[in-house]
Chain A
């Protein structure tokens, strides 16, 4: 057991810290301030800010740390990637943009794409010159994701796509999208799905934003009406798309950083409780301490999961376990932050007397999505029960 870092890792950390210290001075005035409200998270201004910061990180070589150099990455180690997430959290710096491109689409191309696809698409995903989104879920394919009904019919040198997708985050600003479609309706449902991608300017796509519970429009529904996609715009083999979509490794690597960010949030709530004079309430003290206990447990679970990946070359069973716990933890945290504010918890962004410009209210509402997005807690518990504990399927 050894929590130390190698000299090379420490050098990388120092370089990153220096960079952050220097460049965070260029962040807009509202960033990280409690007394000034920033732009709405679904505004063009916020998107532009996010891409601007991302580009700075990219130019400095901090995006795609483990991705190969020939595709625009740094060609670095898993530990450097972990250190990146840790320092971003520690400095309370903004994270990366193009989250779906970097978290889902890019890794799928990296693992299953052709050499030509990798060279063409990966560098611009990393630089955020091209923003990507995912079209996975459908009205009838939520938790039962393999029930995809959007059809792609072979049209010779192209596919003809018809159907409806939903919950596509960022589709309204994306340049490219990946799409799970049914290419063979005759076989068992997991077997007849393909993983296509398309230019968002292709005729026949209609994207309409959906407002979520917070009132902002982060995600969309999309309609595909005889959309023609060039035949070679498929990642991996035709009909094997289910297996391309599965597997995102980033969780393990980012969760150490997430743990630090959540420790920051607990500190933020403790500060809030003191400011509002509730830190003497024994019930509040119990709840705050319990949150701290949970952040610590999450952190060391994440580090054990990371150790498993470093030792074995693949993530361990802790992934699903940490994920369900982490998501539910954030909901408990946000709920408590509201309770501590008492009557002030009712005031939202834009109101006189709203605490921290309504940031907590937004985060509380947004957190309800945590146990639904990336798989519901129920589906994750099924995965733990069946794949980790080996209980029988129905």
Chain B
């Protein structure tokens, strides 16, 4: 029995923190909020050189061959640093999907390029309903000779404006259920594909992607025709746990920053951290963050082991982390008082991210209902 990070994972965590403290200061994070691309090509290159992009890919695709848990540890530190850019879109949403469902030719074509930092990718999943279930997929892909023609509009697609390729989740058969959904690798320069960047509270680049008769060769079908939903389902488990790691890292930053402030800030002649009203607030956050760390590592372990309980574990983690990150940053602002409410203090960057992560891949209410179903309540 040994349930915590191993020596090498602790080293990865420490070196990632040191690197990001230096190379991803808050100035960069703030600059990228207003930047058209939304990421620093220089930082992108450095992270690829460190082997981060290919960390969880097998060595035959130029990866490092590390576990999903290792990637989780890295995402925790990236969430703590609020690393701007398409890392998760490229590595998790696209990379892990290709790894799980791609044929050998597709894996060889995309995975080494991702690992090398040479390409940016994303997944176009959600549509106007915001629905995470199969019923939310209405974009169609109709066969035309050897090709497919895609029509419809995707929403909330992260980083599509800089992506070289997108994985589009589309209907290849009439209906609203799981059956008849397929995945396609789409060249972002395809004729008929239009990307419009939406303005967000966090500065993350979410896009509307319109497909007007976009032609995709049949060889770009990812996985089985009409059998795409199980692939999406599997990816969602990984995306959820990745998001949770990101959230947990941010929540811990908010906790530590608030604790530090409460030790220094004096009112009534004493540090405000001596007041029980402040102590108990922060103790509550500490309980939540400790819990988040434990459940996220467990959920990542379940993915590595392909444990039958992994979907349940992912939902449990997302429920917990959605609440934890929100509480950590809400209380973070409150403990900081007026300073916490300013644009200059960094707390709002985390606070806003907490609200956006809360709804990403389903909020706590959504996952509680899913847990109820999985437990056969």
Contact = CB atoms under 8 A, between A and B. Distances in A.
A325 B280 contact: no
Given A279-B377, A391-B274, A292 B371 contact: yes
Given A286-B368, A301-B294, A385-B280, A306 B3 contact: yes
Interface in B291-330: 291-295, 297-298, 301, 313, 316, 319-320
Nearest to B273: A391
A306 B1 CA distance: 9
Contact of B274 (A4, A307, A318, A393): A393
Interface stretch (A39-47, A139-147, A376-384): A376-384
User: B interface, by DSSP: helix, strand, loop or mixed?
Assistant: helix
A285 B294 contact: no
A300 B287 contact: no
8 contacts: A1-B3, A270-B377, A285-B377, A289-B368, A289-B371, A293-B316, A321-B286, A392-B270
A231 interface: no
Nearest to A384: B283
Most buried by B among A4, A288, A321: A321
Contacts of B69: 1
Contacts of B282: 385, 389, 391
Given A285-B377, A293-B316, A384-B286, A303 B369 contact: no
Contacts of B377: 270, 273-274, 279, 285, 288-289
| Band of interface residues on A | 35 or more
Contacts of A292: 316, 371, 375
Contacts of B224: none
A286 B259 CA distance: 32
B272 to A, nearest CB: 9
A287 to B, nearest CB: 8
Residue picked from A274, A292, A325, A389, most chain B C-beta under 10 Å: A389
Given A303-B294, A384-B287, A389-B282, 16 more contacts: A270-B377, A289-B369, A289-B372, A292-B375, A298-B291, A300-B3, A301-B291, A304-B4, A310-B2, A381-B276, A381-B279, A382-B280, A389-B286, A391-B273, A392-B263, A392-B271
Q: Which of B273, B274, B377 has the most CB of A within 10 A?
A: B377
B3 A307 contact: yes
A156 interface: no
Given A304-B3, A391-B259, A392-B263, A293 B319 contact: yes
A389 B5 contact: no
A310 to B, nearest CB: 7
Nearest to B296: A300
Interface string B258-284: 010011000000110111101110111
A389 B259 contact: yes
Interface of B: 1-6, 69, 259, 262-263, 270-271, 273-276, 278-280, 282-284, 286-287, 290-295, 297-298, 301, 313, 316, 319-320, 365, 367-369, 371-372, 375, 377
B70 to A, nearest CB: 10
Contacts of A318: 290
Contact of B291 (A2, A325, A385, A393): A325
B291 A5 contact: no
B280 A390 contact: no
A258 to B, nearest CB: 15
Contacts of B262: 391
A300 B298 CA distance: 7
A57 interface: no
Given A3-B1, A306-B1, A321-B290, A289 B280 contact: no
A282 B4 CA distance: 35
Contacts of A249: none
A2 B372 contact: no
Interface in A79-110: 79, 82
Contact of B369 (A5, A270, A274, A286): A286
Contacts of B279: 381-382, 385-386, 391
Contacts of A1: 2-6, 69, 297, 301
A300 B278 CA distance: 27
A381 B283 contact: yes
A318 B288 CA distance: 11
Greatest chain A CB density within 10 A among B3, B263, B284 is at B3
A389 B281 CA distance: 12
A308 interface: yes
Interface string A64-82: 0000000000000001001
Best-buried of B2, B284, B293, B313 by chain A (most CB within 10 Å)? B2
A285 B297 CA distance: 26
A394 interface: yes
A324 interface: yes
B1 A285 contact: no
Interface in A345-394: 378, 380-382, 384-386, 388-394
